[in-house]
Amino acid sequence: MNRNIAAMLCLSAFGLSACGKGADSIVSRSEAEALQSGEAVTVTATTAPAGAYVEPASTPVTVTTQTQSAGAMLTGGGQSVAALDTTSAEEKAAATAPATGGGRLGTTVASLGDATEGGFWIKTPLVSAPAKGRVVNPANGKSVNLDLQPLSGGGAGSQISLAAMQTLGVSITDLPEVEVWQN
């Protein structure tokens, strides 16, 4: 019996959090269905600290939701990857110019950084001060000249610009292992 009650409470918490209101908010089934369908709906929700009792709100709140595909969220609210890439033709030419020399700093796993931040850059724990360098994708041999920036907050991986990922021939959802070189 107690096991059944615990399972029902757990499922209720998951159900409420799936409505986007959080595990400590309460909405009716019709309100939840309206929210999920994207309609504008009047919702009376109660949010309370765990274990506290709160009287229901006397004034309803109107909530409008928007639905967005995962692809639209990934590409910046409906913008295409090409629309987010604001680098000029001159910048792209400079980034792909052959480069030699310098010292190899190491390898790192790179993920897409802030897609709205233009230019060619990598934020990495492999440098402690800004510098010029390049990144090589050993999987296909492509390389890109870019700005090396220290990664604030530490971490083991690196963040790379959208333009640099495209030049390296890497999908924005990939986590490639790249070589980092300093000029």
Check whether residue 98 and residue 174 sit in a common domain: yes
Check whether residue 93 and residue 169 sit in a common domain: yes
The pLDDT > 90 percentage for the chain reads 40
Q: Give the residue from 35, 67, 99 where a domain finishes.
A: 67
Check whether residue 116 and residue 167 sit in a common domain: yes
Identify whether 168 is part of a domain: yes
On the CB side of 22, CA atoms within 13 Å amount to 8
Q: Residue 134: its pLDDT value, please?
A: 95
Higher model confidence: residue 50 or residue 95? Answer: 95
What range defines the domain where residue 11 resides? 2-67
When pLDDT is averaged across residues 140-149 and rounded to a whole number, the result is 94
Identify whether 148 is part of a domain: yes
Identify whether 96 is part of a domain: yes
Check whether residue 103 and residue 139 sit in a common domain: yes
Identify whether 111 is part of a domain: yes
Closest C-alpha among 82, 63, 64, 81 to residue 72: 81
Q: What is the mean pLDDT of the chain?
A: 73
pLDDT tens digits, 81-91: 666 777 777 87
Query: In which band, very low, low, confident or very high, does the pLDDT at 93 lie, cut at 50, 70 and 90?
Result: confident
Q: Report how far residue 26's alpha carbon sits from residue 19's, in angstroms, rounded to the nearest whole number.
A: 9
Give the alpha-carbon dihedral of 135, 139, 140, 143, to 10 degrees.
0
- Is residue 63 pLDDT above 70, yes or no? no
Q: Give the residue from 22, 38, 67 where a domain finishes.
A: 67
Q: Residue 40: its pLDDT value, please?
A: 56
Identify whether 73 is part of a domain: no
- Is residue 94 pLDDT above 60, yes or no? yes
Domain count of the chain? 2
Token representation of residue 146: 């870019």
pLDDT tens digits, 97-127: 777 667 999 999 999 999 999 999 999 999 9
Check whether residue 93 and residue 161 sit in a common domain: yes
The residue count of the chain comes to 183
Q: How far is CA 39 from CA 45, 59, 77, 78, in A?
A: 17, 20, 19, 20
pTM, two decimal places: 0.53
Identify whether 76 is part of a domain: no
Residue 160, domain CATH: 2.40.40.10
